Amino acid sequence: MKMNVPKKVLNQLVSFLAPYEQAVDELKLKVKGIKYGFQKSGRYSPIEFVVGRVKKVDSLLKKAVEKNIDFTNDSWQERIHQEITDIAGLRVVCRYIDDVLEVMQLLKEREDFVVQDVKDYIAHPKESGYRSIHMIVSYTVYHGSEKKKLFCEIQIRTLGMNFWATNEHELRYKYDGNIPEHVLQQLNQASTITNQLDELMNKLRLEILTPPPVDPSLEERLEEIFSLYVKQDFDSAAQLYREHLSGFEGAFQDNPKFKMIYDLLGKRFGAIST
């Protein structure tokens, strides 16, 4: 596609894109906070990794031209702000399909940005075989002395969907958008297989995330520790804790007695030397 973009516009684009750079940095940190929060509390994180980027200038210009944005008209900046919603882009990659849905829900509940639109290319894959959730959010950045409300596209997908999309993207680039028919067919087949794998793995998710059944003898030890704790015999309680429960904390997460002991004394028990 031939693009006639005045040199002045190309220069202006640098400062035009700066608040988007800031938005990507801030949002990336915020979304990574979800992952760290889960990990810090010893829970499984529905997020594997988060990446972000600002759309490259050539890709932005191409999309602007497709939308008939006229760079000789002073309104071009406002039109791009309003009409091109993926200049700031975040990609959240998860292990399982249910994690993708959980992350989508967590993002919808946030108050630091507003979800404007959700495109569900998992329920309705693109013709290419592309699967992902696209969430358009509006986010306010304070850039210099300015307050700017910007759109950002958050893509949420599984590792499998990401693998497929990365390969397809490279092929599209290699063939300059005109992927040969037989390669397209293989990509389509790969998309179907990726989806089957995602669905199968999603069933395993429950199996993987369900903690193993609690050994009844451990529960008895817990009772003993609890009664020593009630009698304020902390040294004996600590001794028993270290001998029998240390390392099995995950199995007792839903047990209120354990939680109480752990919250009040767990760290001390672990720290006391024999």
Minimum separation from the CB atom of position 64 to ligand 0O2 (A): 12
Catalytic: which of 21, 48, 153, 168? 153
Minimum separation from the CB atom of position 201 to ligand 0O2 (A): 21
State the distance between the two ends of the chain, measured CA to CA, in whole angstroms: 74
**Chain Cα centroid distance, residue 239:** 41
Minimum separation from the CB atom of position 123 to ligand 0O2 (A): 14
C-alpha triplet 154, 156, 162: angle, nearest 5°: 120
CA dist., res. 157 & res. 134, Å (int): 9
Task: Count helices and strands (H / E) in the chain.
Answer: 10, 5
Minimum separation from the CB atom of position 56 to ligand 0O2 (A): 6
Q: DSSP string spanning 112-134?
A: SSEEEEEEETTTS--TT----EE
The nearer residue to ligand 0O2, 119 or 257, going by C-beta atoms, is 119
CA neighbor of 273 nearest in space, from 235, 232, 245? 235
Phi, psi of 61 (to 5 degrees): -65, -40
Q: Which residues bind ligand 0O2 (CB under 6 A)?
A: 55-56, 59, 86, 119, 126, 128, 130, 134, 165, 168-169
- Is the four-CA dihedral 135, 138, 142, 143 of positive or negative sign? positive
Task: Name the residue with the smallest CB distance to ligand 0O2.
Answer: 130
The nearer residue to ligand 0O2, 59 or 253, going by C-beta atoms, is 59
CA neighbor of 215 nearest in space, from 188, 240, 245, 179? 245
Check if the beta carbon of residue 25 is closer than 8 Å to that of residue 54: no
The nearer residue to ligand 0O2, 28 or 55, going by C-beta atoms, is 55
As given in the structure block, the two tokens for residue 153 are 């596209």
Q: Which amino acid is at 253?
A: Q
Minimum separation from the CB atom of position 38 to ligand 0O2 (A): 26
The nearer residue to ligand 0O2, 169 or 174, going by C-beta atoms, is 169
In the residue annotation, 102 being an active-site residue is answered as no
The nearer residue to ligand 0O2, 108 or 169, going by C-beta atoms, is 169
Q: Which residues are catalytic?
A: 153
